[in-house]
């Protein structure tokens, strides 16, 4: 006779374990201690076996019958319910241990050595704050496109439309890493193509025109903040390097500072293009470095952080521009555009300019040239550029146009 809820609740413990049958192999095992356990007796490959379904009342009579039905269906397919339960348990444990954050950490550890320190730091901070802090504890194989879209939409609502697209691309790389390593079956970021807001037209970073350089250079000369910050800005203006390339500079990278052909040899791992970059140094630049050396002392970095280990933050230079009154009028990166425009307008070889900017070559022919092949030409160009900057600061825009 089938059991009822009341019969299960009222079953009394005895001196020995006793079974209350519900039919079809399902029974409630009442222990002498008072515990009531669901069990299913079945045969598989001529062997008598028992499957546990949990304890009553946590597992009610209705739930126990559904579990019995599921076991019977597996037996009909020639599968052992107990073995399938073990497989499901292992898969659940594996899924729980393969969270998005755990896989992301593995992916990052495998990739970060190919990036500059500044770039890798930005990638991880963005991924952590915008994605992992929200859904990082979720099993990576359980994350569906709508859940990921909700995360990306939150970034868009801050107005960071371009960043949202970049975060989605990075997250997609993590999912594909999980697929390759057997922790995920698909990449949900692929289903979000076309679902993100358009970033609109590209906005180029603000840069100064030639006529604005004299006023800026004079303001920089009078800067009342940290001296190292002003020198760092001067260094960027004279060499038009990227902010991170200057911030993480080390004294061991310089050659022949006291000679006739001083050189800054930036290793490939610090460059965005992953190619070693050689920068000829003008007398003005070596003077800047000499002053920075006095400030840095024995520190291996040319721009050490004043109050902690490491280097100055990526915001130090842009905040200096703000204090000088150049908010929205100039960016640190914009000096690269200023230099490129002026040098092109004065007829300098485009190859020399592009090489100095460390831009990725757009053709196999250009990429075939050796970096040092234009080194002497770039040195002449940079000597001209440093003199141009000195003239701009000392004599102003009118004389600058007349002289150059």
Q: What is the pLDDT of residues 276-293, one digit of tens each?
A: 889 999 999 999 999 999
- pLDDT score, position 185: 87
- CATH numbers and ranges of domains, the chain: 5-93 (3.30.160.390), 100-192 (1.10.150.130), 210-403 (1.10.443.10)
Q: What tokens does 227 get?
A: 């001296």
Q: In sequence order, what are the residues at sequence separation of 6 or more whose Cβ sits closer than 8 angstroms to the Cβ of residue 72?
A: 24
260-272, pLDDT tens digit by residue? 999 999 998 888 7
pLDDT of 142 above 70: yes
What local confidence, expressed as pLDDT, does residue 367 receive? 44
Counting runs of H as helices and runs of E as strands, what totals does the chain give? 17, 7
Q: How many CB atoms lie within 10 A of CB 381?
A: 22
Nearest-angstrom CA–CA distance, 257 and 286:
7
DSSP code for 329: T
Q: Taking 80 as the threshold, does the pLDDT of residue 200 lie above it? A: no
Q: What secondary structure letter does DSSP report for 333?
A: T
**Per-residue pLDDT reduced to its tens digit, 12-64:** 888 899 999 989 899 999 999 889 999 999 999 889 999 999 899 999 999 99
| 154: Cβ contacts below 8 Å, ≥ 6 apart | 130, 134
pLDDT of residue 84: 83
Given a contact cutoff of 8 angstroms between Cβ atoms, the answer to whether 17 and 30 are in contact is yes
> Considering the chain, what is the average pLDDT of its residues?
86
Residue 347 half-sphere exposure toward CB, CA atoms < 13 A: 1
For residue 335 the two structure tokens come to 């000096």
pLDDT for the residue 398: 56
Q: Which are the catalytic amino acids?
A: 242, 272, 333, 336, 359, 369
What's the CA gap between 8 and 212, in Å, rounded?
Answer: 88
Give pLDDT tens digits for 348-382.
888 889 888 887 554 444 444 445 668 999 999 99
Residue 76 has pLDDT above 80, yes or no: yes
List pLDDT tens digits, range 86-128. 877 776 666 666 889 999 999 999 988 877 777 788 889 889 9
Residue 368: predicted pLDDT = 41
């Amino acid at each position: 006779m089938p059991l009822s809820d009341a019969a299960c609740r009222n079953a009394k413990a005895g001196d020995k374990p006793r079974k209350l049958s519900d039919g079809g192999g399902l029974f409630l095992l009442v222990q002498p201690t008072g515990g009531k356990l669901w069990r299913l007796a079945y045969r598989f490959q001529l062997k008598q076996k028992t499957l546990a379904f949990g304890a009553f009342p946590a597992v009610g009579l209705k739930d126990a019958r559904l579990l019995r039905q599921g076991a019977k269906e597996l037996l009909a397919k020639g599968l052992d319910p107990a073995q399938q339960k073990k497989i499901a348990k292992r898969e659940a444990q594996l899924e729980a241990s393969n969270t998005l954050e755990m896989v992301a950490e593995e992916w990052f550890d495998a990739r970060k050595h190919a990036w500059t320190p500044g770039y890798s730091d930005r990638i991880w901070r963005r991924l952590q704050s915008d994605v992992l802090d929200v859904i990082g504890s979720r099993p990576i194989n359980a994350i569906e496109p709508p859940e990921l879209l909700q995360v990306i939409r939150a970034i868009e609502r801050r107005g960071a439309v371009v960043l949202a697209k970049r975060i989605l691309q990075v997250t997609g790389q993590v999912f594909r890493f999980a697929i390759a390593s057997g922790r995920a079956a698909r990449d949900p970021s692929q289903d979000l193509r076309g679902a993100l807001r358009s970033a609109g037209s590209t906005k180029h970073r603000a840069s100064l025109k030639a006529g604005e350089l004299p006023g800026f250079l004079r303001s920089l000369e009078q800067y009342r903040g940290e001296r190292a910050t002003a020198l760092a800005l001067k260094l960027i203006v004279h060499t038009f390097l990227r902010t991170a390339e200057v911030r993480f500079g080390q004294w061991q990278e310089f050659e022949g500072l006291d000679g006739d052909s001083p050189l800054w040899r930036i290793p490939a791992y610090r460059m965005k293009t992953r190619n070693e970059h050689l920068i000829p140094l003008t007398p003005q630049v070596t003077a800047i470095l000499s002053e920075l050396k006095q400030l840095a002392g024995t520190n291996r970095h040319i721009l050490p952080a004043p109050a902690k280990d490491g280097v100055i933050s990526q915001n130090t230079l842009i905040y200096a521009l703000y204090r000088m009154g150049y908010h929205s009028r100039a960016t640190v990166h914009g000096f690269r555009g200023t230099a490129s425009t002026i040098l092109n307008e004065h007829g300098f070889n485009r190859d020399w300019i592009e090489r100095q900017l460390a831009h990725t070559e757009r053709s196999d022919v250009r990429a075939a040239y050796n970096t040092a092949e234009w080194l002497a030409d770039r040195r002449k160009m940079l000597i001209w550029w440093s003199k141009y900057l000195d003239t701009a600061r000392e004599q102003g825009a009118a004389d600058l146009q007349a002289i150059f």
